[in-house]
Chain A
Amino acid sequence: ETGVTQSPTHLIKTRGQQVTLRCSSQSGHNTVSWYQQALGQGPQFIFQYYREEENGRGNFPPRFSGLQFPNYSSELNVNALELDDSALYLCASSTPTHRTDTQYFGPGTRLTVL
């Protein structure tokens, strides 16, 4: 098991609501990346945070936003939820001391939008 933790494990929301997902990075890691994994698909990159700043973003609308805190933990916020937002949300932590570092994933948060 990695030292990456995520909360909550499962979440059910309705369309139009807002949700906040949380991630604690592995000890010593200063970078957190968020991915969305729809059913039957590979994970899709949402964005990455490095030292509390967004450091790259995938093809997701602005209603997907995030934060990183001084202890390197992170939040993913999704506003105006849509049915297609139902997915497993994964966070991964790493330390990009060079371009070849490894991302270690948490167990994910399963979000269901009704």
Chain B
Amino acid sequence: AQSVAQPEDQVNVAEGNPLTVKCTYSVSGNPYLFWYVQYPNRGLQFLLKYITGDNLVKGSYGFEAEFNKSQTSFHLKKPSALVSDSALYFCAVRDTGGGNKLTFGTGTQLKVEL
């Protein structure tokens, strides 16, 4: 069965600094990886996904993610953080056994401070 780990419950960064939110995965077969963001009392918003091809994936709101097969990682990055980026971030992996099930990590709370 596939799984996703987000090793940091919370990440703090100053506005204007680069941010990284970490994610590692475990799947059999090719990984289909996703990042979602959740603001308080809201549903999940899709940021980006990796299917195949270029290891650097660009997504919404200036976010990007780097796929590293040898390290089984898919870290979310942004060159310059904004206070408005403060939210809960989830990494997810798509079921490889058929169907369209997503398995999510436990989430990382990002706090961007002035």
Give Cα A100 to B36, complex, Å. 15
Docked CA distance A107–B39 (Å): 10
| B99 contacts A56, C-beta separation under 8 Å | yes
Q: For chain B residues 20-78, which have a beta carbon within 8 Å of chain A?
A: 32, 34, 36, 41-46, 49, 51
Q: Decide if B42 touches A107 in the complex (CB within 8 Å).
A: yes
Select which of B43, B99, B103, B105 is within 8 A of A105 by beta carbon: B43
A108-B43 contact in complex given A42-B90, A102-B34, C-beta closer than 8 Å: yes
Which residues of chain A have a CB within 8 Å of any CB of chain B?
A: 2, 4, 6, 31, 33, 35, 40-45, 48, 55-56, 58, 90, 92, 94, 96, 99-108, 110
Contacts from B to A (Cβ < 8 Å): 32, 34, 36, 41-46, 49, 51, 90, 92, 94-95, 98-107
